[in-house]
Amino acid sequence: MIEYLAPSFIYTLAKDIYSKFRGRKRRLTPVETIALRQKWKPEFENRIALLRKQKFGRDAIIRDVARLDQYPNVKAHKSISPWFKIGLMATYEHGILAGKLWGTLTEDAETGEWRFTDYKAGERGDITVIMIGKVPYENIEAVDWDGDKYYSEPQIYCHFSNKGRPDEASGIYLEKEMIGGDFVYYTEIAPFDKILKLSRKRGIQYFG
């Protein structure tokens, strides 16, 4: 069952599409932002905790509310795809941590900072990490926890209002486990763009 924020969904969607074409970021009042955070925070926290407890998969699909009809087609896009799979890793104070891709990092010999692993040069990586996007609750319009006939994973309908993306920032994180394995949490090593910059400087193009 899909849960909508308010009856004004269609009006809000039309306004946001107009804003997108005008190049403006989606704007909410402080009251609207608070309402969305209070709505989604407990729901996602409870759902993620349940998935961990029952050891179910945490895959989900993020969909762009402005491009609903492009699902489930798979086409090359100049901009970010209108839908893609993520992992429901955890929550943070303003939203959900959406896992994008696992990979490794290698300590750079010259700077001591982290960069992508150069597999072509025979490197194996020093640490295993995950690329995570921080999706604010206020960018979430609706959730269908049951999936559909194409994919059984939950579908999270988002406004791609942060420069055409649903997340406000992307970073590289370490996954850590408390003693006993009952609780998993994530700590950010560095923003993705910072690691990308050093990696490109070393001629390493891809994370994975």
Q: Which of 78-82, 117-121, 160-164 shows the lowest per-residue confidence on average (mean pLDDT)?
A: 78-82
> Rounded to an integer, what distance in angstroms lies between the CA atom of residue 125 and that of residue 115?
10
Q: In percent, how much of the chain has pLDDT > 90?
A: 75
Residue among 96, 188, 107 at smallest CA distance from 140: 96
Mean pLDDT of the chain: 89
User: Which of 138, 58, 70, 71 has the alpha carbon at shortest distance from 102?
Assistant: 58
pLDDT of residue 52: 86
pLDDT for residue 6 is more than 50 = no
Q: Cβ(180)–Cβ(158) under 8 Å?
A: no
DSSP state of 152: -
What are the residue ranges spanned by the domains of the chain?
2-201
List for the chain the helix, strand, coil content (%; round to 5).
30, 35, 35
The residue-averaged pLDDT of 137-154 equals 96
Residue 150 burial by Cβ neighbours in a 10 Å radius (0-12, 13-18, 19+): exposed
CA separation for the pair 59, 18 (Å, rounded): 31
- Could you tell me if 174 and 81 are in contact, meaning their C-beta atoms sit under 8 angstroms apart? no
pLDDT-above-70 percentage for the chain = 87
pLDDT in tens, 76-114: 767 899 999 999 999 999 999 999 999 999 999 999 999
Cα dist from 196 to 39, 56, 84, 172, whole Å: 35, 32, 22, 10
Give backbone dihedrals phi and psi of 65, rounded to 5 degrees, phi first: -65, -20
DSSP-assigned beta bridge partners for residue 77 = none
Mean pLDDT of 178-192: 87
The answer, yes or no, to whether the previous bond of 154 is cis (omega within 30 of 0) is no
- The residue that leads in pLDDT, 182 or 67, is 67
In this prediction, residue 170 carries a pLDDT of 97
How confident is the model over 46-62, as pLDDT tens digits? 999 998 888 778 899 99
pLDDT over 60 at 179, yes or no: yes
- Give pLDDT, residue 95: 98
Q: What average pLDDT score do residues 34-54 get?
A: 94
Is 50 exceeded by the pLDDT of residue 21?
Answer: no
**Cβ atoms of residues 124 and 88 within 8 Å:** no
| pTM summary value | 0.84
